[in-house]
Amino acid sequence: MASGSGENMFPEKATDRAEEIAQFLHRMKIKQEQNGVCDQNSTSENGHHQCPIIWRTRSLNAPSPIQQFGPCGRIMRNSAMVMDIISTSTHFQPLFGVFFRALYISNVANTTVGHPGVTVVYKISVDKRMVVFVEAQVLEDPLVINHTCFPVLKDKLMSFREGQDDLTDKIDFIICLGGDGTLLYASSLFQQSVPPVMAFHLGSLGFLTPFKFDSFQDQVTNVLEGHAALTLRSRLRCIIIRKDQEIGKNTKPPTNLLVLNEVVIDRGPSPYLSNIDLYLDGKRITSVQGDGLIVSTPTGSTAYAVAAGASMIHPSVPAIMVTPICPHSLSFRPIVVPAGVELKIAVSRDSRNTAWVSFDGRKRQELKHGDSLRVTTSIYPVPSICAEDQIADWFASLDECLRWNDRKRQKHFDEPEELLTPPDQTPELTHSSSDDTLDSLSERNDGCDN
């Protein structure tokens, strides 16, 4: 191919959707001029239809008109959606950078977190000279106010309120004290790029919180100095499109949320089976009749999904898990689909009731007839800091939290004493030939007894 046509084939990156479509049509026009126009009636010598236009293929990662492969596979559905699927070998990343602004998140309802939390905030604010953001309700907690270090910290802290203050591009580093719910809450505060998250286990389960609080000072120092690795935990982008928005009567923007664990569609308070249609990239694949459906990330595969019978997926695997909840079918098993596909969930027309949807257990709302939920992998993962590395942390959580493959050890066979008898002391009874009969062996045995 000439260099001039090569420049036309790969123009500069489109700045908007209309320009991208125009460039795509221009490339297809060049293909047609080079290879000819497709004729459905044309056949090759072997009798099969042969299209002269070379269309781009669909990969296992996602349906995509434009793809790049290698250690960092890029998926582009359009210029506004770019997702990097990083291979497992490159997920182990050293964490470098200078942190200036930290976000402290804790479970305010857990009274055991109050004093340790003030200690952590004091260390990173005073010793590390970082600007620390905390929730406004943390500054109103009596356990925090009565701490001896609080008077020194009071004027150094920045406060925020969920839903009122936007933290986008204001935070460089997140410290969580609590359980898995605390990390999920921290993820929900960032609907775009998320800073690295360091999660300490002070909750009940702690599957996603690998750090122990006993030696937090040394651990925080190691992380801030760059001696840490990251696990990129993918999130799901969930969009609810109402019936009037679908037909253009409502100009209000649709609900758009990112979830770290799962989005759950269930029958709510209705006594009837939920009847939900499931589409994959616009094609209807099945109808779910049961209590509901779970669409989860690999991180969420060890949460609600595993309780519903799904497999556990390592967070580095680019995938989406689809798990039915109590399906009224013996053959409906959970499935795993590629990370880049788009799932559409809608209430069936003949369903007796509506459905309800929740996002990481929050923001629950009704999904009525004509409404639809679109789910795909977000381009903004959660960079979770590893205590050791991504493999050791995950299997340690499986062992400590879920008791994976925990079973009493089977005993080995004890060797019989007669097998340990020296060859020269072996009883004659064991020396038998093919001519021996039961009667002859019985007589020989009687002779030995005498």
Angle subtended at Cα 110 by Cα 109 and Cα 116, rounded to the nearest 5 degrees: 125
Nearest by Cα to 113 from 175, 170, 160 = 175
Q: Which two three-digit tokens encode residue 333?
A: 């098993």
Residue 401 CA to residue 406 CA, distance in Å, equals 11
Are residues 335 and 311 in contact, defined by beta-carbon separation less than 8 angstroms?
no
Rounded Cα distance between 230 and 339, Å, is 20
Residues 386 and 231 sit within 8 Å (Cβ to Cβ): yes
- How far is the C-alpha of 390 from the C-alpha of 376, rounded, in Å? 24
Angle between helices 114-122 and 216-224 (to 10 degrees): 40
Task: Specify the residue for token string 């020269």.
Answer: 424
Question: Which residue in 84, 127, 155, 180 is the catalytic one?
Answer: 180
Separation of first and last alpha carbons in the chain: 102
The residues that bridge with 68 in the sheet, in sequence order, are 74
Beta-bridge partners for 160: 135
Residue 418 CA to residue 118 CA, distance in Å, equals 70
Catalytic (active site) residue 180: yes
How, if at all, do strands 173-178 and 101-106 pair?
parallel
Pairing of strands 197-201, 173-178: parallel
Q: How far is 434 from 444, CA to CA, in rounded Å?
A: 15
CA 69, CA 181: separation in Å to the nearest integer?
Answer: 36
252 C-beta neighbours (distance < 10 Å), count = 8
Answer for the pair 141, 177: CB distance below 8 angstroms, yes or no.
no
What is the distance between the alpha carbons of residues 370 and 217, in angstroms, rounded to a whole number? Answer: 53
Residue 235: which of 207, 258, 212 has the closest Cα?
Answer: 258
Active site residues: 180
